[in-house]
Structure formats: structure tokens, C-alpha cells
Amino acid sequence: MLRKLLIGTMLAGGLVAGYSATTYAAGGSVEVLHWWTSGGEAAALDVLKKKLESQGVTWKDMPVAGGGGEQAMTALRARVTAGDPPTAVQALGFDITDWAKQGVVGDLGEVADKEGWDKVIPTALQNFAKYDGKWIAAPVNVHSTNWVWINKKALDAAGSKEPANWDEFVAMLDKMKANGITPLAHGGQAWQDATLFDAVVLSFGTDFYKSAFIDLDPATLGGDKMVEAFDRMKKLRSYVDDDFSGRDWNLASAMVIQGKAGAQMMGDWAKGEFLKAGQKPGTDFVCIRFPGTQGAVTFNSDMFMMFKVGDDKKAAQLQMASDIESPDFQSSFNVVKGSVPARTDVPDTAFDDCGKKGIKDLAEANASGKLFGSMAHGYAVPAAIKNAIYDVVTRHFNGDIDSKEAAKELVDAVAAAKG
Ligand code: GAL
């Protein structure tokens, strides 16, 4: 056991085959715009901050609170418009491509070539971290959105059975309700509603998810199955408490942590909150794939998109990119964040059971063609279409329109956003 652990630590500590660290900066500073302000997120960010500080690089923090990053993107627009972009910005998928099209992003080719990023970062991530063949962003992690986080005591009180399909999920939630707790912890914010919708749509099959959110097929978006998916959303709404409106995602996680609620459907950043609260997977909480989505993964990857900076700031920027892709950082950061490494050669030794499952699920889904970008988190469609979908999903979730109307409006909203 000890030997296994030592090997794992050594591997993650920089002995990954073919990897050699680079030193670019002795000093300098990076200004970093991000939305990692919850307890778990801040703890993870601190791993990066400390690594850079240990190399003499000063960290100028620009946090913009708001899960999912919408507010951060608004703040970024103001900075770029003023001609004063930060050094590095946390960003997702199509947003990165949109910024690259504006011609304002930097070039990480020097460090990416030297360190062989092409060989170890999955293509699904390269598609967004590169633009026009050039590396413009450093992927930090891979999150996935089709998880459920369940309070272990609440699960035991509800009969201990981990739900494997929709009917079992509903049965579990009903028992939790009967046991006097809020079955489903949720925050009424458009991106959180959309996170639920990601998983619900995926639970109707990977072909359905792909047809709806990747191909944007009108017949799928407006069809009977989509009406059924909206009906499931309505059912889920019935398990949420009355105070959900506007609640931040981490406060919903806290309800599960404290046993006030039974479960939360959320990406694996939620695990960061459980860990920060001292809880352990298997003992205090349980992680399962959203029932009906086993074997498939909807992913998002946080990337630090690098902006064009003056020569005085370039070395520190490259240092930050190099640090992010180092195997030891990929391990230590993602263990805290709840996500899995953005490179394929990082050992899973340091990860807990949920992390190990996340790494395995990702590799298997990738190999079997069941890995898809998350609609809710910017990896399926550009922001304009994503926001159009958000709007319909949230109005339906809040009871403003019924399921049939929602499916119909989805078709129109997507068509209008596509332009
Ligand atoms: C996601 C991001 C995660 C997490 C979450 C909640 O978009 O990828 O890292 O921070 O928002 O803020």
C-alpha cells in the first residue's frame, strides 16, 4: 500500500514520462479574473496562487462572484472594451472561441510546444483551448455536470438504495419528503436550472442529447420526448423548497451537507464544498451519475484564457500556463476542486472514490463516443443560443409556461438565436 502511494506521489510529482517543467519567470505578476468565490472553489484556486507565489510571481486577484461565470464575463467585456484586459481569465468553451475571434487573446505556443500539450490534453479540450491551430488557453480541469450528491444519512433513512433510473430517483425523493426534509436542494438561477436540464435531457439517451444540444435539430427540440423531458423538470421542481429563488449553488450544497436537504443535482464542483466542510465520500455523502445517464458524461472544462499582454508581463503569463499544465498541479488542484485532470497521464492515486470514478467515467465515455459538451456550461453551443435555451428552461421551471409550450418555444428561441 505504502509503495503504491509513493509511486503515485512520485508520478504526480513530476515524473510523468516525457514531462519536464519550465521556468519562465522570476518575479512579475499576473492579474487573474475568475468566479471561484465559494469555499471549495477558493480553496482550489489557492493551490494555483501558492504555486505561483512560490516562484516569486505576484497574484493580483480579480474575483467576480456568480456561479457559472455570467457576471465574470460581463466584467471581462468592460475590461477589454477599456483596452485593459487582465493577464488570465477563467472561461468556458464557446466563450473562449468568441474572444479569440476578436483578436485579443495571447499565444501559448512556446510553452505548449515545449511541454507537449498536444499529446496529453484530450482533443475535446483542444477544440476550445486552441484557435486557428494556436494554443490560447490553459485547461485547468474537466468537470462534468451529470452528477447527484446525496446526503448519506438521508439516503439511509430513505431505504439506502442508490437510484439507478428515473422511477427509483422519484421514489427516493418521495421518501425524503415523507421523512420531513427538502428532497432536492436547488438554487433558482438560470444556469442552475439549465444544469438540471442537461442531465434530464441526457437521461433520454446520448442520441437525444446530441440531436438536441449539439445538432440543434428542431424536430428533437420540439418533439414529444422533449415535452417529456420538461415534464420531468416539473416533477423535479415539486421536490424543491419555496425559498429556492436566487439561491447560490453552494448554499444549496450546504443544505445537503447539513442534512436539511437530501440531494443536489450539480456538477462536481459541488464535491469541493463537501470536502471543504470536512465530509467524506461514502461516509457522509454519496456521488452518483444522474439516474439514466450512467456511462455518459456531459463535460465542461475551466480554462485560463490568456490575453495579449506587454513584454513585461509575458514571462509571468507563460509561467502560469506552464504551472497549470504540470502533472503535480493537475493532481493537487483537482483533488480539492472536485474535478478531474485536464491531461490524460495524471495518476488517480491522490483522488477519493468520487474523483477516481470521475476519471474512469470520463475515459470510458470518451472511448465509447458518449462524451458531450455541457449545454449549461458553454461547451455545446455559443452563448447566444445557450442563453436562449436558459430563458425557456427557467420560465418553464418557474411555472410560467407548460411543457408543450416550452418545447415549442425552445425551437423558436434556438432558431432566433442562430440568426
Ligand atoms: C462552472 C465552473 C466550475 C464552478 C461552477 C460554479 O461553470 O466550470 O468550476 O466554479 O461554475 O461556480
Q: What is the pLDDT of residue 122?
A: 97
Q: What is the pLDDT of residue 83?
A: 94
Residue 271 Cα, ligand 1 centroid: separation in angstroms? 12
Report pLDDT digits (tens) over 143-154: 999 999 999 999
Query: Closest Cα to residue 89, out of 281, 298, 250, 321?
Result: 321
Answer yes or no: is pLDDT of 301 > 70: yes
Taking the model in full, what pTM does it have?
0.95
Mean pLDDT on 64-69: 96
Strands 130-131 and 134-135, how do they pair?
antiparallel
Mean pLDDT on 355-377: 98
Q: Whose CA is nearest to atom 11 of ligand 1?
A: 68
Contacts of 216 (CB under 8 A, 6+ apart): 381, 385, 414, 418
Q: Whose CA is nearest to atom 6 of ligand 1?
A: 67
Answer yes or no: is pLDDT of 68 > 60: yes
Mean pLDDT on 279-291: 98
Confidence of residue 53 (pLDDT cuts 50, 70, 90): very high
Q: Whose CA is nearest to atom 4 of ligand 1?
A: 269
Select from 32, 143, 271 the residue to mutate for testing ligand 1; criterion: most ligand atoms less than 8 Å from CB. 143
Q: What's the CA gap between 22 and 35, in Å, rounded?
A: 28
Residue 14 Cα, ligand 1 centroid: separation in angstroms? 27
What are the beta bridge partners of residue 249?
none
Q: What's the CA gap between 159 and 195, in Å, rounded?
A: 27
* Furthest CA-CA distance within the chain: 63
Confidence of residue 298 (pLDDT cuts 50, 70, 90): very high
Q: What's the CA gap between 372 and 298, in Å, rounded?
A: 5
Confidence of residue 19 (pLDDT cuts 50, 70, 90): confident
What mean pLDDT is reported for the chain? Answer: 95
Answer yes or no: is pLDDT of 8 > 80: no
- Pocket lined around ligand 1, Cβ cut-off 6 Å: 35-36, 41, 67-69, 92, 143, 249, 269, 300, 302, 377
Q: Which atom of ligand 1 lies closest to the CA of 269?
A: 4
Answer yes or no: is pLDDT of 328 > 60: yes
Return the C-alpha cell found at 374: 455541457
Q: What is the pLDDT of residue 22?
A: 84
Q: What is the pLDDT of residue 16?
A: 74
Answer yes or no: is pLDDT of 284 > 70: yes
Q: Whose CA is nearest to atom 12 of ligand 1?
A: 67
Q: What's the CA gap between 41 and 266, in Å, rounded?
A: 14
- Is residue 383 within 8 A of residue 98, CB to CB? The reply is yes
Residue 35 Cα, ligand 1 centroid: separation in angstroms? 8
Answer yes or no: is pLDDT of 15 > 60: no
Mean pLDDT on 158-185: 98
Answer yes or no: is pLDDT of 285 > 60: yes
Confidence of residue 6 (pLDDT cuts 50, 70, 90): very low
Q: What is the pLDDT of residue 1?
A: 32
Q: What is the pLDDT of residue 3?
A: 36
Select from 35, 92, 198, 249 the residue to mutate for testing ligand 1; criterion: most ligand atoms less than 8 Å from CB. 35
Mean pLDDT on 7-16: 47
Q: What percent of the chain has pLDDT over 90?
A: 93
What are the start-end ranges of the E strands in 46-172? 58-63, 88-91, 130-131, 134-135, 137-139, 143-144, 147-151
Strands 371-373 and 143-144, how do they pair?
unpaired
Q: Whose CA is nearest to atom 2 of ligand 1?
A: 68
Mean pLDDT on 101-125: 97
